[in-house]
Structure 1
């Protein structure tokens, strides 16, 4: 279907994509997420996610022919680069976009049932960092990810893109949402990990932190690694709720790494069988 009007109501879901705050509020409310780039769209479909519509410029239509054929009832919206840019707010240079149904959220119990190595993301609000952490987790043997209430949405389009679609392959769940009386359950939710047999380790510079390559850390059959936001790090409450604090030994007067880089180092060092 050819688009000629930037205000076409059929593609309202693709409008104002540069307004991150708006997207965070509306995507989850409408039960959708947006997959950005042809590669990510294909990975979402391969993971069994259902498309609502496709959105791409003329020059990418032929490259997606087999995708459209596999989903004959799904509308395909196309137009000139100028028209599409007027809708989204940016130039589409990664191929297709697709509006996808959000999968049914998993519970913490579901993602922990078979996991041995878990990453816990506390207040990681930067979508780029979150996506990079997911990509490292998927590639370096992390079995599942838990995301605190204040962390970014793993299914926000930038998170998905930076993760290269690995958010579709690694089980994850929100944890620590407020209970029915409005009481926050974070960081008390870390007790759920301990009850499931996990040792909870916080990656943070503290007076009691042990080096990441300490041999004793490899003795834990089930290990959960808490990662904090860039800058503030792991909160005092989460540190108090952790069993051990760990740090990455650094050189040349550098005290820390970006949280995404630090996660990759830690996932490698703490992988099972290391």
Structure 2
């Protein structure tokens, strides 16, 4: 049975506290091996990608629309929390209007070599610190058929709630991992057969269409 919450200080809701506090979430989520999926579409894409839920939080009216998820959660003994909108907003810090939240278990990040194995086009996100931009880039990567994404150590977390939401769940579709050290791993990419190029506005830059016309097999 769904658990109705009335106490915003309920310890069982700790995964959902202060979701708009970027500094808090950047520290808490990786430390506890979790991330937050927001909206039915994103939650379903995360589940399809093999991520396991720790719990769900949703307004009561969504219990019917997400009935299959609720039933599966109950069968697996995964808590489903529900409550009035003002209670949920007090816990999370924002008005939940996308149906539901899910606290999901992170999966171990795979090694770079396995992520790029067989890939022809790999995108490196170098120190992109804005989560919205990271999500938008993943969505573009999926649309353009990029085979894999590598994220440098100082880049924002692709599994941060806003990044996942803006990506529309494509962070679960496009294979990715962290590449560390950077730029010390550039030579390693070359050893794997990639030509490493960068977008730059310089006098000797080559136009994208010119480069694409004679692009190597692996970039």
- Which TM bucket (shorter chain)? over 0.9
Residue range with higher mean Cα deviation, 66-75 or 53-62? 66-75
| Selected match of 2:210 from 192, 207, 214 | 214
Is the 8 Å Cα contact of residues 35 and 103 (structure 2) preserved in structure 1?
Answer: yes
Q: 1:92 matched to which residue of 2?
A: 96
* Separation (CA, whole Å) in 1 of partners of 2:64 and 2:150: 39
Q: How does 1:41-80 map to 2 (within 5 A)?
A: 41-71=43-73, 72=75, 73-80=77-84
Q: 2:165 matched to which residue of 1?
A: 161
| Selected match of 1:137 from 117, 121, 141 | 141
Task: Establish whether residue 146 from structure 1 lines up as the match of residue 150 from structure 2.
Answer: yes
Task: Establish whether residue 193 from structure 1 lines up as the match of residue 197 from structure 2.
Answer: no
Q: 2:23 matched to which residue of 1?
A: 21
Decide whether aligned partners of structure 1 residues 75 and 40 sit closer, same or farther in structure 2, where only a CA change above 3 A counts: same
| Selected match of 1:119 from 115, 118, 123 | 123
* Separation (CA, whole Å) in 2 of partners of 1:216 and 1:152: 28
* Separation (CA, whole Å) in 1 of partners of 2:213 and 2:85: 53
Decide whether aligned partners of structure 1 residues 216 and 133 sit closer, same or farther in structure 2, where only a CA change above 3 A counts: closer
Q: Which has the higher contact order (CA 8 A, sep 6+)?
A: 2
Residue range with higher mean Cα deviation, 58-67 or 209-218? 209-218
SS at match of 1:210: coil
Decide whether aligned partners of structure 1 residues 144 and 97 sit closer, same or farther in structure 2, where only a CA change above 3 A counts: same
Decide whether aligned partners of structure 1 residues 199 and 62 sit closer, same or farther in structure 2, where only a CA change above 3 A counts: same
Task: Establish whether residue 108 from structure 1 lines up as the match of residue 112 from structure 2.
Answer: yes
1:131 CA drift (Å): 0.3
1:64 CA drift (Å): 0.7
CA RMSD of aligned residues (A): 1.1
SS at match of 2:4: coil
Count of paired positions = 215
Name structure 2 gaps, 5 residues minimum.
none
TM-score by length of 1: 0.77
SS at match of 2:118: coil
1:207 CA drift (Å): 2.4
Any idea what the Cα deviations from partners look like across 1:62-100, whole Å, max 9, x if unmatched? 111011222321110000001111100110000110000
SS at match of 1:26: helix
Name structure 1 gaps, 5 residues minimum.
177-184, 224-274
Decide whether aligned partners of structure 1 residues 160 and 69 sit closer, same or farther in structure 2, where only a CA change above 3 A counts: same
Decide whether aligned partners of structure 1 residues 59 and 216 sit closer, same or farther in structure 2, where only a CA change above 3 A counts: closer
1:190 CA drift (Å): 1.1
